[in-house]
Amino acid sequence: MSAPYPDVAVPRERWPVAVLGATGAVGQTFVRLLARHPWFRLAEVAASERSAGQTYREAARWLEGTLPADVASLRVVPCDPSAVRSRIVFSALDAAAAGEIEPAFAAAGRFVFSNAKNYRMEPDVPLVIPEINAAHLDVLPVQRARRGWAGCIITNANCAAISAAMPLGPLHQAFGLERVFVTTMQAVSGAGYPGVASLDILGNVIPYIGDEEPKIERELPKMLGRFTGDRIEPAAFGVSASANRVAVEHGHTVNLSIGFERRVTAEDCIAVLEAWQGDACARGLPSSPERVLVLDPRPDRPQPRRDVDTGHGMTSIVGRIRPDPLLDVKLVALSHNTIRGAAGASLLNAEVVAARGAFMQ
C-alpha cells in the first residue's frame, strides 16, 4: 500500500498470524488484506467447531474476488489457544464467541487484535486508531498486570464510530469537543453476509441498526480520551447518534453537527484537517494510506460508491465543512467500513505494535 518502514525490525521470515472467525465476512476481509502482506504471513485460519478440519475453501463461502490459493488449502482449526500456534491473532469473532475466546488467547500469551465489541469499553483495553490515539497502547502493561495475562487484547471500534472519529480526532485535539450529533447512513456490508435481505433494503432506508447508536455514543469519547497512567479516561464530550442502513455496498457516510468548548469556525476546522497527518508512529506502515484524511472541496462529496476505495479503503474523506446554525460546524465524513472500519483497522494496529518492537521480544 505505501512506502517501506525502514526502522522496523522485521524478521527475515514474516511473522505467522492467525485469523479467528476466519470464514465470516470480516474474517474474509482479513484473509484478503493479509494475502500479500509484507510483514505477516497468514499461517492459520480458525473457526467454529463445525468448520474445523475442513479446508478453508470448503468452510468459507468466498465472497469477493479470488480466494488466494495458499489459503484455500489451509485446514481450519478450532478457536482455541491449544490449536492455534501464532502469537499474533486477529479476531473477527462475533460477540457471542469473543467474550470467552479472546481472553483465553490473551492469557495464553497472544496478541489479540479484535473487532469484537466485548472488551472495547474496558478501561484497561485500548480502543485504537493509531493516527489518533496510539498513546493508548501504553495501557497494555496495566492490562497484563491487572488481568495476569501473558498476552493482551487490543481492540478497534465499531465501523460507524470510526467514520466519525477520523475527523473528530484532530478537531478534538485542536479545539476540544463539547457535543456531537452523528447521523449515519451505513452500507449493507456492515451487517456481514448474508446480512441485510434485499427485500429489506432495495429502494429503501432502514432507520435502525441494532445496538449501533449506543456503541457510537460511548466509543467515540473513549477513542478521543487519554491514558492517565492507570486507565483510559474517556473524553468529556457528549454524543447523540442516529443510525440508518442504506442501499450502499461499502462505506459508512456520517453527517456530523459539532460544538466545541470555544467558538470555532469552518475555516478553523478546514485548516486543522488539511494540516493533520496523524501520529507519526502510524505513517509508512504497510497498511498506512498515503493520506489519512482527504478534504474534498466539491459541494456534493464524499460519496460512498465513488470515494470509498480512496487509499485502498484506509483513507477517510471529509467534505461539506460549513457553519452549523446551532453549534459550530457541520460536516460529512466517509470511511470504508470493512477496511478502515474493521479488518484494516486491526491490521494497522498490529503494524504499529510491530513497529514498536513488541513482537521481537
Q: Contact with its own copies (CB under 8 A): which of 59, 77, 246, 355?
A: 246
Q: Contact with its own copies (CB under 8 A): which of 230, 249, 267, 274?
A: 249
30 and 346 Cβ atoms separated by less than 8 Å? yes
Residue 58: how many other CB atoms lie within 10 Å: 14
Shortest distance in whole angstroms from residue 178 CB to its own copies: 10
Is 250 noted as a catalytic residue in this protein?
no
Q: Contact with its own copies (CB under 8 A): which of 58, 64, 233, 279?
A: 64
N- to C-terminal Cα distance for the chain?
27
Cell numbers that stand for 352 in this block = 504499529
Residue type, 336: H
Indicate whether 158 belongs to the interface with its own copies (CB under 8 A): no
272 and 197 Cβ atoms separated by less than 8 Å? no
Is 281 noted as a catalytic residue in this protein?
no
Which of these is catalytic: 152, 252, 269, 336? 252
75 and 84 Cβ atoms separated by less than 8 Å? no
Indicate whether 181 belongs to the interface with its own copies (CB under 8 A): yes
> Could you tell me which stretch among 42-50, 130-138, 154-162, 204-212 binds its own copies (CB under 8 A)?
204-212
Indicate whether 2 belongs to the interface with its own copies (CB under 8 A): no
Dihedral angle, C-alpha 43, 48, 53, 57, nearest 10 °: -70
Indicate whether 270 belongs to the interface with its own copies (CB under 8 A): no
Indicate whether 205 belongs to the interface with its own copies (CB under 8 A): yes
Q: Which is nearer to its own copies, 154 or 308 (CB)?
A: 308
Angle at 71 between CA 70 and CA 72, to 5 degrees: 95
Residue 302: how many other CB atoms lie within 10 Å: 24
Give the H/E segment covering residue 335.
strand 329-335
Indicate whether 55 belongs to the interface with its own copies (CB under 8 A): no
Indicate whether 196 belongs to the interface with its own copies (CB under 8 A): yes
Shortest distance in whole angstroms from residue 195 CB to its own copies: 6
Q: Contact with its own copies (CB under 8 A): which of 74, 188, 293, 342?
A: 188
Give the H/E segment covering residue 310.
none
76 and 53 Cβ atoms separated by less than 8 Å? yes
Q: Contact with its own copies (CB under 8 A): which of 185, 339, 345, 350?
A: 185
Q: Which is nearer to its own copies, 83 or 197 (CB)?
A: 197
Q: Across-strand partners of 322?
A: 330
| Closest of 307, 21, 24 to residue 190, by C-alpha | 24
Shortest distance in whole angstroms from residue 6 CB to its own copies: 28
Give the H/E segment covering residue 213.
helix 212-223
Indicate whether 257 belongs to the interface with its own copies (CB under 8 A): yes
Q: Contact with its own copies (CB under 8 A): which of 94, 147, 303, 358?
A: 303
| Closest of 19, 105, 114, 104 to residue 345, by C-alpha | 114
Binding residues vs its own copies (CB under 8 A):
63-65, 179, 181, 183, 185, 188-189, 193-208, 210, 217, 238-240, 242, 244, 246-249, 253, 255, 257, 299-306, 319-320, 324-327, 330, 332
Catalytic positions, please?
A: 159, 252
